[in-house]
Chains A and B, each alone.
Chain A
Amino acid sequence: EVQLVESGGGLVQPGRSLKLSCAASGFTFSNYDMAWVRQAPTKGLEWVASISTGGGNTYYRDSVKGRFTISRDNAKSTLYLQMDSLRSEDTATYYCARHPPGLNWFAYWGQGTLVTVSS
């Protein structure tokens, strides 16, 4: 059974950093592109970043470019999102999601981890 379990969320002050993790199991992690998708409270879904199987290619939405870094450790079957210079508008539940091979939608999602940026 495919499982994606996010962790690392919490309350953080504006301008500070936070690192999210997503532990994957039930499939060969290194064979799949992965992504982070977020959802602000009572709002819709917003793609944040994606990473290729080997980690060599990364993609970001404009509003997080230069502040967020997506990475992965295939030996540990874990996806990461390093978030720096956090802003109040980054407040959201962050979901880890798996792309089908070579495709750009999301077949599996984790339960999400809440990040609150507030002083």
Chain B
Amino acid sequence: DTVMTQSPALAVSPGERITISCRASESVSTLMHWYQQKPGQQPKLLIYLASHLESGVPARFSGSGSGTDFTLTIDPVEADDTATYYCQQNWNDPLTFGSGTKLEIK
């Protein structure tokens, strides 16, 4: 299975620009997607195909990358962005998720 590695946690102040990384164990082309999961809620799609913003998602969120290295950027971060962020690939079967990056807003 394709393993995606994410840094486990990040603590930042409102107004900062942050990047969350996701590294795949093998190339996934641009078939990488990003989700936000707030405590006690279901996941929400933010970015699909590495860089496409899902409808209704604020333009503060953006994605980039291809191959094995991907980045989710939030600029500027707001207090409401407190959540765990997951990447997901579907280039290789089975589709797999990263372990998540927990974002805390100080």
Contact = CB atoms under 8 A, between A and B. Distances in A.
Interface stretch (B10-18, B43-51, B66-74): B43-51
B86 interface: yes
Contact of A44 (B90, B93, B97): B97
A20 B46 CA distance: 27
A109 B41 CA distance: 10
Contacts of B27: none
B42 A45 contact: no
A58 B9 CA distance: 35
B98 interface: yes
A47 interface: yes
Nearest to A47: B95
Nearest to A112: B42
10 contacts: A44-B86, A44-B97, A44-B98, A45-B88, A45-B100, A47-B96, A62-B94, A95-B42, A100-B48, A109-B43
Interface string B72-96: 0000000000000010101001111
A111 B94 contact: no
Contacts of B95: 47, 104-105
**Chain B binding surface, main DSSP class:** loop
Contacts, number: 50
Interface of B: 31, 33, 35, 37, 41-45, 48, 54, 86, 88, 90, 93-100
Contacts of B94: 47, 59, 61-62
Interface string A35-66: 00000000011110000000000010110000
Contacts of A108: 45
Interface in A42-92: 44-47, 59, 61-62
B42 A110 contact: yes
Contact count band on A: 10 to 19
B2 to A, nearest CB: 12
A85 B88 CA distance: 28
Contacts of B54: 107
